[in-house]
Structure 1
Amino acid sequence: MIKIYHNPRCSKSRQGLEILENSGKEFEIIKYLDTVPNESELNAVIKLLNISPLELVRKNEAVWKDSYKDKTLTDSEIIAAMVAHPKLIERPIVINGKKAVIGRPPSAILKII
């Protein structure tokens, strides 16, 4: 089943959700600010995206700038920061089987559905 890691307050995430709704396919919405993924779930998402943990971080968030920006962090520490502060996780993320994309731009979602 298709999954979307969604933040309803984010316009790109809402656009990504609309793409899924219009696709006619079944999907699951994970409001990741309410249901925070744990470290192993984030590791799995990062592996599917084929990116480094740092590439999943929203670097313009105040918590990143204030607490992490100028530090040398391991991948595990970056993932732990996203678990502790889920608003650091880039969104939306759409997973379909063994494929995943960050929906920026939202049209990128079309490649995997």
Structure 2
Amino acid sequence: MITIYHNPRCRKSREGLAVVEASGKPFKVVKYLDNRLSKSELQQILATLSMGPMEIVRKQEAIWKSEFKGKEMSEEMILNALVEHPKLIERPIVMYNQKGVIGRPSENIADLLSD
């Protein structure tokens, strides 16, 4: 089953959801702003993506710029910031068959689902 970590207020996330829906495959939507991801869930996502926490940070978000930009931060500190401020998580993230992608651009999702 496909899992999409989705923010309905984000145009790119809505585009990603449309790609998932068009695939015709079963999927579930996780609205991670409504139900925050736990640290262990986020660590699992990062492991599947083969990425570190900094690679999924939305660096243009106001909260990042005001509270974290330019500070010396360990991966653990970045992970904690992502858990505390889920708006900082890049979106959408799509998981399928033990693989995952950040759906920017949405072609990444189409490629993932074509496997």
TM-score by length of 1: 0.97
Matches within 5 A, 1:15-94: 15-94=15-94
Q: Deviations over 1:3-35 (max 9, x none)?
A: 000000111100000001111000000001001
Q: Deviations over 1:32-80 (max 9, x none)?
A: 1001111111111111111111010000001000001111111111011
Q: Deviations over 1:62-107 (max 9, x none)?
A: 1000001111111111011011100000000000131000000011
Distance in 2 between residues matched to 1:28 and 1:76, nearest whole Å: 28
The percentage of aligned residue pairs carrying the same residue is: 51
TM-score by length of 2: 0.96
- Does the residue aligned with 1:112 lie in a helix, a strand or coil? helix
Distance in 2 between residues matched to 1:103 and 1:77, nearest whole Å: 25
Task: List 4+ stretches of structure 1 deviating above 6 A.
Answer: none
Q: Which runs of 5+ in 2 are unaligned?
A: none
Q: CA RMSD in A?
A: 0.7
- Does the residue aligned with 2:64 lie in a helix, a strand or coil? helix
Distance in 2 between residues matched to 1:107 and 1:35, nearest whole Å: 27
Amino acid at match of 1:29: V
Amino acid at match of 1:25: K
The count of corresponding residues between Structure 1 and Structure 2 is: 113
Distance in 1 between residues matched to 2:88 and 2:57, nearest whole Å: 5
